[in-house]
Amino acid sequence: MPKYVLWGTYCEDVLEKRAPHREAHLDGLAKQKESGVLITIGPTKDVTKVFGIYEAENEATVRELIENDPYWKNGIWTEYSVKEWIQAF
């Protein structure tokens, strides 16, 4: 199954703004991880970017997961890109 890389950006004042949505966000990610579609995800140390790796049938599936995430719906993630990734090692 293909793998996809997510790169996205966070809003300003992310640590404060994400608080009301964090539990729902983490619960959703845990379900994605359990199902096997989410390999890993997390912020850069300076909390300006988000990076993730997904394994899914197609790019549309990954985009749907991202766009249904509370962080996207509530403007915590402000933009993103998804690219199919070839894992060499």
Segment 4-30, tens digit of pLDDT? 999 999 999 999 999 999 999 999 999
pLDDT in tens, 26-68: 999 999 999 999 999 999 999 999 999 999 999 999 999 999 9
Give 85's Cβ-side CA count (13 Å radius): 18
Helix, strand, coil percent content, the chain, rounded in steps of 5:
40, 35, 30
CA distance 26 to 2: 24
Q: Which two tokens stand for residue 62?
A: 């990954």
Question: pTM for this one?
Answer: 0.93
The pLDDT score that the predictor gives to residue 40 is 98
CA distance 2 to 68: 21
Q: Which two tokens stand for residue 16?
A: 């404060």
